[in-house]
Amino acid sequence: MAKPDPLTDLIRRVAEQRDKTAFAALFDHFAPRLKSYLVRLGADAASAEELTQEVMITLWRKAHLFDASRATAATWLFRIARNRRIDALRRDRSALLDKEDPSLRPAAPEDQDDELDARLREDRVREALASLPEEQADLIRRAFFSGLSHSQIAEDTGLPLGTVKSRIRLAFGRLRRILEDDEAIDTD
């Protein structure tokens, strides 16, 4: 039996109880990731910030529409962000858009088996991350979940840049071994 997803539970609390604490936790978790994603899609920092705010407002207003059986919380919110980005491009530069651009086409619905596999992988990674020493897990979270560069992490933590890089490298080695051991157990 799969563990309940804490993010899904937070969305449920927002939908059913208008729980501001749950919303704040979701905002803290997703806002930096959504902004980084939108910047990677080509939005400037100010537009990415504005679009992120719109996505989070959508979460607040439409949390009741989230269906955990169809997508993870991250998939749902990143899809909303992508669609908001496309809408913004259409509003701002509708004459300049290439109607044949593949990024403007709706994404194909995800296969249920692929979605289940993704959830299982997310659970494995979450468990593997929890087994790391806290200083390594913290650096991994900062680098890959908050989207910070190694230099930004060094500045935030006060650690030398080389230490940040070596701890991240060590953490990846441990994560790889843990996940490979899990795969070996699954195939037995």
pLDDT above 70 coverage of the chain, percent: 84
- Identify the band that residue 188 occupies on the pLDDT scale cut at 50, 70 and 90: low
The first and second tokens of residue 148, run together, are 């910070």
Residue 128: how many CB atoms within 10 A of its CB? Answer: 20
- The answer to whether 32 touches 55, Cβ cutoff 8 Å, is no
Domain count within the chain: 2
CATH code for the domain of 68: 1.10.1740.10
- The answer to whether 14 touches 63, Cβ cutoff 8 Å, is yes
Over residues 84-143, the pLDDT tens digits come to 998 888 777 654 556 667 766 776 666 677 677 777 777 887 888 888 888 888 888 888
Same domain, 67 and 128: no
Give me the domain span that covers residue 185.
111-188
- Identify the band that residue 54 occupies on the pLDDT scale cut at 50, 70 and 90: very high
Most confident of 16-25, 115-124, 143-152, 178-187: 16-25
Q: What is the chain's percent helix, strand, coil content, to nearest 5?
A: 75, 0, 25
- Identify the band that residue 1 occupies on the pLDDT scale cut at 50, 70 and 90: very low
